Amino acid sequence: MSSLSDLCSQLWPFDAAAMRDRFSPSFEAVIECQQFSRTVLDPASIAVVNWNIAKNNHQAEWLAEAEAIAQRYDPDLFFLQEVRIASPELAPVPFADHGWHFAPNLRDLHTRHAFGVLTAAKVQHLDHQHLHTQHYEPVFNTPKVALITEYPLVTRSQTLVTVNVHGLNFVDTGKFQAQLQQLADHIQHHPGPMIVAGDFNTWNRQRMTLLRSLMTQLGLAPVLFPQAHDRRLKRFLWSDPLDHIFYRGLAVRPGSAQVLHKLKSSDHVPMVVEFYAVSSR
């Protein structure tokens, strides 16, 4: 039986060795823009977008769609995966009211562009941390990355912790489980509200079972989308969706969870939801 690395090399229409020569792991510090428009999040309404944008954030079509989402849904938080940044001076997202943190996991040695996850927020953060996986993807020979960010909440003594995740893809289940455990080890002691979102690459039942089990252990529930929206989420053949949002210490505003399936700039579709606090403390 072929190894996962061999299978991956067969599936992708390019030379795997050439890709390893072109792309290198990137462990740079988080790149950030401090143009926050607010000082605290209001737990009465926290609007969130989660979206794997397939490295298209410098394309005109994506820019138009992202600006339309910002205007229509006014999100407090964007969790974006597969963001491309050409240079620290060139803003990778068009959100005028948001500051952002970008955590790279790989760099294109030809173009010098970096790729990774980006969390954009209206609110000044209290703290942030990025986690690179111990294990690497077999073709690019690069890790994946997650970005943990903490935000203040108005009228509450607690803070909100968010996690923006891009899950390992073409690796065995044990390596995927190790990434999940690494995340759990860093967030399990936070006592307050939490949102965990991203592209988890849950393309088989074993991965989905592991993810659900860990989220349950952390007290997090999945955001449930109407069936007509859920079926529009990115899948691998007949798998569970690859993209997910989990939460605790908050409630989902009825009718707010939706998938913007008419957008075309990425092969993944944006997930939109509004949270609110059940009670203030």
Does the pLDDT value for residue 25 go beyond 50?
A: yes
How do residues 169-208 score in pLDDT, each as one tens digit?
999 999 999 999 999 999 999 999 999 999 999 999 999 9
Share of the chain above pLDDT 70, in %: 91
Spell out the alpha helix ranges (H) of the chain.
4-11, 16-22, 60-73, 173-187, 205-217, 227-230
C-alpha distances (whole Å) from 164 to each of 17, 94, 236, 237 are 30, 19, 21, 25
CATH topology of domain 4-276: Deoxyribonuclease I; Chain A (3.60.10)
Q: What backbone phi and psi angles, to 5 degrees, belong to 57?
A: -70, -5
19: exposed, middle or buried (Cβ count in 10 Å: 0-12, 13-18, 19+): middle
Q: Kindly report the CA angle at 199 between 31 and 69, in degrees rounded to 5?
A: 70
Cα gap 164→50, rounded to integer Å: 9
Residue 15: band (very low, low, confident or very high) from pLDDT cuts 50, 70, 90: low
Does the pLDDT value for residue 214 go beyond 60?
A: yes
pLDDT of residue 179: 98
Over range 103-122, report the average pLDDT: 94
How do residues 60-80 score in pLDDT, each as one tens digit?
999 999 999 999 999 999 999
Domain map (residue ranges) of the chain: 4-276
Does the pLDDT value for residue 16 go beyond 70?
A: no
| pTM of the predicted protein model | 0.92
* CB distance 130 to 30 below 8 Å: yes
